[in-house]
Amino acid sequence: MRSVKRMDDNYDVAIIGGGITGTALAYILSKYTTIKKIVLIEKCSSIAQVNSRTSSNSQTLHFGDIETNYTKEKAVIVRDGAQMVKRFVEQHRAINQKLYRKTKKMVIAVGSAECAQLEQRYAEIKQLFPKLQRLNNDAIAKIEPSLTEGRKEELLALCSDDGYAINYQKLAETFVCEGRAETLLNTTVKKITKSDTYHIETERGIIDAAVIVVSAGAYSLHFAQMLGYGKEYALFPCAGDFYYGKNLLKNKVYTFQIKGIPFAAVHGDPDVEHPEITRFGPTALVVPWLEKRNILSALYLLPYLRWRTIKTLIKALKEKGLRKFILRNFRYYLPFGKYAYIKALRKIIPNLKGSDIKKDKTAGGLRPQVMDIVKQKLVMGEVKITGDNIIFNITPSPGASICLKNAEKDAIDIIRFFGKYKLNHEQLKKDLH
């Protein structure tokens, strides 16, 4: 990775944000386009230190097979995007042994009502995922015996042998190392202005670029609205935390998720770097800031506090499922909240005790959930705002799983902005599709 200090150069493309989304784009532009001068700007001292950090996310490569809150259409999109990441990490395993770990993965339904819904789900998607297995109690017990010990309720699971625990921090670092973008670390962007080209004002000087892509998580909307874009959106940030225990699960286990709610239900999985450690989470707490462990980021949320934002939030919370989800998660942050969380985790491991798990105070991230304050509803999935030679990406889950597919789409737009550079579609398809 090259780190340059000069701040007075002109670039074809400037990418703001060194997480998994920004680094994936830097890689695609470097590897498959004729664009010459690309710069990646990151405020931290190294790559992928916020939501893409290893301990900040669920480490899951989502395919849409065990995510029961995805529509069938979304499952197709996520599956195709995740296949690109799967191919990349398999091709680069020799370079970086810590990129991923193969595992089984399953979603379990508990009780007759959930089992009936999961049966229906299986009927809908089994042609999309022909290797997906339908398991009853006995078959589940052979894979994860702790799921059935002491269980009285009926169980049903959909299981895949093709699960991937991804170290997204290492993946982002690999994207940078394999690309040719110049990398500016410790460089905080203060302001973006436009004349003939874009001027990026940082605390270290001005950077000029013909095209800008902002992939800075929750901050992307801040920069978009600074330039007059995305006024129809506001943020509904949720912080997530994880608990951990030792040798509790061998594979990824997700619980049945609620349709219409963009947040994940509780799940448990072995850590990608330390498989003897089982991580449970994430919890979800609505917070008034844009970055975990950075209270000052609350200042960036103030412009969103308009009447339409409050009205949209109130309307969203009138939905019974979402309201119950938020209130239930709020309980986990009260004194003795761990014991309330244990009840939720017993849906996975019925015999789990409070002494089996501890809260990981160093782990967890923030989901930049977007609200459409014109349509007055939560937006399911990522948001992309395209302007005059500029793109803003806000990518909550499953943004990391489809980072290369999103990067490919951005690259197509960037080529269209310029009109003089080319994208090698055939080579990209051969390598990653």
Which tens digits make up the pLDDT trace of 68-124? 999 999 999 999 999 999 999 999 987 767 899 999 999 999 999 999 999 999 999
The answer to whether 43 and 35 have CB atoms below 8 angstroms apart is no
Flag whether pLDDT at 307 surpasses 70.
yes
Give the pLDDT of residue 321: 84
Both structure tokens of 359: 């809260």
From residue 207, alpha-carbon distances to 35, 107, 124, 336, 362 in Å are 17, 47, 50, 50, 34
| Least confident among 220-224, 225-229, 254-258 | 254-258
CATH code, residues 1-58+167-235+294-331+366-433: 3.50.50.60
- The three-state secondary structure class of 374 is coil
Give the pLDDT of residue 255: 96
Question: CA 10 to CA 205: how far, in whole Å?
Answer: 13
Tell me the β-bridge partners of 268. Answer: 253, 280
Q: With a threshold of 0.85, does the pTM exceed it?
A: yes
Q: What is the DSSP letter of 55?
A: G
Give the pLDDT of residue 8: 55
Whose CA is closest to 234, among 383, 39, 427?
A: 383
pLDDT tier for residue 302 given thresholds of 50, 70 and 90: confident
Flag whether pLDDT at 393 surpasses 70.
yes
Would strands 377-378 and 277-281 be described as parallel, antiparallel, or unpaired? unpaired
pLDDT tier for residue 7 given thresholds of 50, 70 and 90: low
Domain ranges of the chain: 1-58+167-235+294-331+366-433, 60-166+241-283+333-364
Both structure tokens of 244: 């951990």
Flag whether pLDDT at 137 surpasses 80.
yes
Give percent of the chain above pLDDT 90. 85
Per DSSP, the residues of 198-251 read EEEEETTEEEEEEEEEE--TTHHHHHHHHTT--TTEEE--EE--EEEEES--SS
Angle between the 307-317 and 320-331 helix axes, to the nearest 10 degrees? 90
Residue type for 65, please?
Answer: D
Q: CATH number of 60-166+241-283+333-364: 2.40.40.20, 1.10.287.110, 3.30.9.10, 3.40.1160.10?
A: 3.30.9.10
Flag whether pLDDT at 1 surpasses 70.
no
Whose CA is closest to 63, among 402, 396, 368?
A: 402
Give the pLDDT of residue 2: 45
Give the pLDDT of residue 5: 46
- The three-state secondary structure class of 189 is strand
Question: CA 388 to CA 236: how far, in whole Å?
Answer: 26
Whose CA is closest to 260, among 19, 397, 29, 69?
A: 69
- For the residues 127-139, what does the mean pLDDT come to? 96
pLDDT tier for residue 3 given thresholds of 50, 70 and 90: very low
Residue type for 103, please?
Answer: T
| Cα first-last separation, the chain | 26
Q: What is the DSSP letter of 130?
A: T
Give the pLDDT of residue 305: 82
Flag whether pLDDT at 134 surpasses 80.
yes
Environment class of 6 (CB within 10 Å of its CB; exposed 0-12, middle 13-18, buried 19+): exposed
Give the pLDDT of residue 342: 96
